[in-house]
Structure formats: C-alpha cells, structure tokens
Amino acid sequence: MIVIIVYLIEWEIKLNKDLVNNIIKSVKKSFNYKINDVNYFITAFTHKSVSSSNNYERLEILGDAILQLFITEMLFTKYPHFSEGDITIMRQKLVNTECLEKIYHSLDLKEPIDKINNNLDGRRISSDILESVLGAIYLDSDNQTVKNIINTIFQPLVSDSLLKKDSKSQLQEYLHREKIPLPTYTSCKSSKKSFKYLVSCKIPQLNINEQMHSNKIKSSEQILAQTILNKINEKS
C-alpha cells in the first residue's frame, strides 16, 4: 500500500502541467537556464518525505561534488599565489550551509518546492536543494554550462576578505596560545517562544558562560565567540 501511494504521488507530480511550467520558469529566472528534461528537476526539488525512491539526495551528492570542483577551480585561477590552505579556507566559506542558504533565498525556487513538498520548511532543505539543482543542471546540460552558472552566482562573493578567520577560529587560536582548554559549545531547547534554541559557550578557566536565544546554532556560536573575544580584548 505504501509503495502504491508513493508511486501515485510521483505520478501526480509529473502530470501536473502547472507545476511543471512553474519549475521551468523558476529555474529560468533563477539560473538563466532553459530546462531540457524537467524530470531531473522534479527529482531535485523533491524531499524524501514525499518520495523515498525519487528524491533529491542522489542529486545533492552530485551537485556538492560539482560545486566543490568548480569553486576550487575558480579560486585556483583567480589567486595563483595563494597556498592550498588559503584556497581551502576560502572554498569552505563559499560552500558552507549558511552561504548556500543565503544564495537559495535570493533565488526564485520557493514556490514549486513548497508545492511539491507540501510547504515543507525550506530552511531545513535550502542548501541541499541548491546543490541538487546544480546536479540536475549538470545532467541536463554539460560541464561548461553548470560551470558558467556557478561562476555567475559565486564570483560576486569571492574576495580576499574570505581569508579572514571566523570568530570561533580566532578564539580557539587565542586559547591555544594561552594554553587554556578549548571552549564548550552546547545548545538546548529555548524557553522563549520566538526562538528554537538556547546556545551556550563555556570556558570554565576564565569563568565565562555566554548564552543567547536563537533559531540558528552555528551563527549563534560565532556571535558568542566574538562576544567573548571582545571581552578578552577589553581586559587586555
């Protein structure tokens, strides 16, 4: 029975002309790309909760590899004198979840994705969807086409400032120099209705326990680390 239901859901998605046209228009507007086989993109937009057999997870892996390759090539060409470590740091900042989520929300993909996934919370899948769509474009076209699209999206984000270390890394380096154990980051459910998490950063040796309510754990950890760095600088 479950298999039949999943099959019917997939069948209805593929036969919905309005949805197909919506996907075609969204991809054209977001990437300036004309789709050849829309089935790649139906799969790229579909969460596993809708279909266990025809969802974006395989395309996401492909898209992630393609993104890593062409971002690396872009940085390698643009910065011929940078070390492999510098290129790695810059690439990580361009392909991390936070950056990909920002790019996703700047595109015009939300409407068809919501329709396919019954308004599944896009914040949970946005970076995955972006990678899966890049995988779909690769299969639907060729290397040069997807490379050009990636360059168009990411070139404006590339600058020397990407080499600046984030707050957590700076705090870690300071503690290492001072021979102080590294901080402990924890998160739990927030008691405030407007937030999902209570995020903490503890350094017992310095009597530090910074906390904040937030909806995003990783970005909150960066904010807490910067707060601690500011306090350390004030005392020095």
Please give the average per-residue pLDDT across 11-20, as a whole number. 67
Spatial distance between the Cα atoms of 75 and 59, rounded to a whole number of angstroms: 24
Q: Which residue has the tokens 């999902």?
A: 196
pLDDT tens digits for 36-75?
A: 999 999 999 998 888 888 899 999 999 999 999 999 999 9
| Residue partners of 48: CB distance under 8 A and separation at least 6 | 55, 56, 57
64 included as an active-site residue: yes
Structure confidence at residue 202 (pLDDT): 96
Asked whether residue 3 carries a pLDDT value surpassing 60, the answer given is: no
Structure confidence at residue 120 (pLDDT): 66
Coil, helix or strand for 79?
Answer: coil
Length of the chain: 236
Please give the average per-residue pLDDT across 18-43, as a whole number. 94
Catalytic choice (10, 60, 64, 101): 64
Q: Which whole-number Å values give the CA distances from 108 to 137, 173, 195, in the listed order? A: 16, 40, 27
114 included as an active-site residue: no
Residues 64, 68, 72, CA angle at the centre, nearest 5°? 170
Extract the runs of DSSP E, i.e. beta strands, from 26-160.
none
Helix (H) or strand (E) holding 208: strand 208-214
Q: Write the secondary structure of 175-199 as one string of H (helix), E (strand) and C (coil).
A: HHHCCCCCCEEEEEECCCCCCCEEE
Tokens matching residue 230: 């500011």
Q: Centre a 10 Å sphere on the Cβ of residue 115 and count the other Cβ atoms it contains.
A: 16
Asked whether residue 11 carries a pLDDT value surpassing 80, the answer given is: no
Spatial distance between the Cα atoms of 43 and 41, rounded to a whole number of angstroms: 5
Q: Which CATH number fits domain 2-163: 1.10.1520.10, 1.10.1270.20, 2.60.40.1120, 3.20.20.450?
A: 1.10.1520.10
Catalytic choice (10, 60, 101, 131): 131
Residues 26, 31, 32, CA angle at the centre, nearest 5°? 90
pLDDT tens digits for 85-114?
A: 889 889 988 998 889 989 999 999 988 888
Q: Domain extents for the chain?
A: 2-163, 167-235
Q: 148, 85 in Cβ contact below 8 A?
A: no
Domain boundaries 167-235, corresponding CATH code: 3.30.160.20
Please give the average per-residue pLDDT across 19-28, as a whole number. 93
Q: 93, 170 in Cβ contact below 8 A?
A: no
pLDDT tens digits for 187-202?
A: 999 998 888 899 999 9
